[in-house]
């Protein structure tokens, strides 16, 4: 009798075959709260797949084209949803490096 071969699992797969998401993974469409120097923000990664609209990024003032993955954020206070903004992911991450009077270029 020959030995059984173990089935190789993917890095995020449980022994029963169900998928596991690593802690802190950025799942599209799932809200998270981020604290930063400018307050607490609700942040959502958007895949861009269902978007038929272009948005203007407040970080670089360039267009976020339809279908481009990006970030949507709004202040984490009651009524903050009315101040939703669409950002390029890199612009959102680097917003702390910009300040008043600093050029984007």
DSSP characters for 44-89?
EEE--TT--S-EE-TTT--EE-TT--EEEEEESSTTGGGG-EEE-H
- 36 forms beta bridges with 39
Indicate if the alpha-carbon torsion angle 46, 24, 90, 57 is positive or negative: positive
Confidence of residue 53 (pLDDT cuts 50, 70, 90): confident
CA–CA separation, 38 and 75 (whole Å):
10
CA–CA separation, 75 and 105 (whole Å):
27
pLDDT in tens, 60-96: 999 999 889 999 999 998 888 899 999 999 999 998 8
**Would you say residue 41 has pLDDT above 60?**
yes
- Candidates 68, 77, 70; CA nearest to 33 is 77
Residue pair 86/70 in contact (Cβ under 8 Å)? The answer is yes
Q: What is the pTM of this model?
A: 0.65
Residues in the chain: 105
Higher pLDDT, 19 or 60: 60
């Amino acid at each position: 009798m020959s030995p059984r071969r173990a089935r190789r699992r993917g890095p995020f797969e449980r022994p029963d075959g169900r998928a596991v998401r690593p802690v802190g993974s950025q799942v599209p469409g799932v809200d998270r709260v981020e604290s930063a120097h400018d307050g607490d923000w609700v942040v959502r990664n958007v895949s861009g797949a269902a978007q038929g609209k272009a948005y203007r990024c407040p970080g670089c003032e360039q267009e976020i084209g339809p279908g481009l993955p990006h970030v949507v954020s709004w202040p984490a206070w009651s009524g903050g949803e009315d101040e939703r903004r669409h950002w390029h992911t890199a612009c959102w991450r680097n917003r702390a490096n910009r300040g008043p009077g600093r050029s984007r270029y």
